[in-house]
Amino acid sequence: MDFLYNKGLTMILTMGAVFMFALVIMSVLSRAFETYQEKYVVKSMTDLSDMFLFIDGRQLLILNISITAMFVVFGLLFLGMFYTILLSVLGFFTPMLIVKLFRKRRLKKFNMQLVDSLVAMSNAFKAGLSFPQAIEQVAQESDAPLSQEFGLFVREVKLGVPLDEGLLAMAERVGCEDLDLVVTATVISRQLGGNMAEMFDTIAATIRERFRLEGKIKALTSQGKMQGWIVAALPLLLGLVLNWMRPDLMEPMFDHWFGYVVVVFIALLEFLGIFFIRKIVNINV
């Protein structure tokens, strides 16, 4: 009788402990999911809306989960557990990387269009147009993304937003250093007076010269960047080749925790190497 009582008490305590542990895990996962929605989903939606791409947060969340699940299934079917974990991490961050890539490409295109738009606005000033008229004319004649940003600025001004406030909002929305320079110079020139046509010609020439220097520096540092990526990819490629040619030599490393520690340590050193190489060859103009 005492044995049954002790056994029943042990089962009750074990179930209670498992239940409390499950509650703690669910609470941690719930907070992590809320943090993920606030920091990742909201930021991605903001970046997309700044690029005039309006996507529902639930659609972005479903896309992220679908890509992660697809990578996990692929890893479980064709690769081992270690590569499945790597693919799951990659799939989780893939949508965010895609958003950053599109934003970077859009910003680069905007920078290239900005130089020609400054020259066009300078010619418009020489023809006697005002600043709102000049920027509206450039918005109508340009392609996206410059036409989208300038067109939104023109609509805001027509709705009653002060011109300086609209310029500052556009600069904050685009996140372009060259546009920040143009906006700052325009606001100061409007407040203190000055020849805006000559000012825009000078800014356009400065931006063109910076583009020339950036292209020259990029050409000189491209070899160092390529060497960094090749050296960083060699251990991974060598491991895949050895795993394909002699899997019996690679399997013992993943049968013990020490092998995973070695792999994590190697991956950490690889990331540090890539980071320092990019810091060395990354020169801001």
The confidence band for 12, taking pLDDT boundaries of 50, 70 and 90, is: low
Residue with tokens 């609509």: 155
* Parent domain of 158: 112-209
H-helix or E-strand spanning residue 186: helix 177-192
Q: What is the pLDDT of residue 59?
A: 67
- pLDDT tens figures, 182-231: 888 888 888 887 788 888 888 888 888 888 888 888 877 777 777 777 87
3-state DSSP call for residue 194? coil
> Does 152 reside within a domain?
yes
Of 209, 243, 273, the one marking the end of a domain is 209
> Does 80 reside within a domain?
no
- Supply φ then ψ for residue 80, to 5 degrees: -85, -175
163 contacts 132 by C-beta, under 8 angstroms: yes
Q: Can you give the CATH number for the domain in which 122 is found?
A: 1.20.81
Residue-by-residue DSSP string for 215-249: HHHHHHHHHHHHHHHHHHHHHHHHHHHHHHH-HHH
> Does 261 reside within a domain?
yes
> For the purposes of burial, counting CB atoms within 10 Å of the CB of 121, is it exposed (0-12), middle (13-18) or buried (19 or more)?
buried
Of 160, 186, 209, the one marking the end of a domain is 209
221 and 270 fall within a common domain? yes
117 and 139 fall within a common domain? yes
Q: What is the pLDDT of residue 136?
A: 86
Of 175, 209, 243, the one marking the end of a domain is 209
- Show Cβ contacts of residue 262 under 8 Å, excluding neighbours closer than 6 positions: 253
125 and 205 fall within a common domain? yes
> Does 25 reside within a domain?
no
255 and 198 fall within a common domain? no
> Does 82 reside within a domain?
no
183 and 221 fall within a common domain? no
| Whether the model pTM is above 0.95 | no
> Does 225 reside within a domain?
yes
153 contacts 137 by C-beta, under 8 angstroms: no
Distinct helix (H) and strand (E) counts, the chain: 11, 0
133 and 176 fall within a common domain? yes
- pLDDT tens figures, 75-128: 777 776 767 777 777 777 777 777 778 888 888 888 888 888 888 888 888 888
- Supply φ then ψ for residue 53, to 5 degrees: -120, 105
151 and 230 fall within a common domain? no
What is the total count of domains within the chain?
2
Tell me the residue type at 80.
G
Any idea what the Cα angle at residue 69 is, between residues 21 and 58, rounded to 5°?
Answer: 85
133 and 196 fall within a common domain? yes
146 and 232 fall within a common domain? no
227 and 169 fall within a common domain? no
> Does 56 reside within a domain?
no
> Does 85 reside within a domain?
no
CA–CA separation, 125 vs 148, rounded Å? Answer: 22
Please state, as a whole number, how many other Cβ atoms lie within 10 Å of the Cβ of residue 229: 12
- Show Cβ contacts of residue 40 under 8 Å, excluding neighbours closer than 6 positions: 96
3-state DSSP call for residue 270? helix
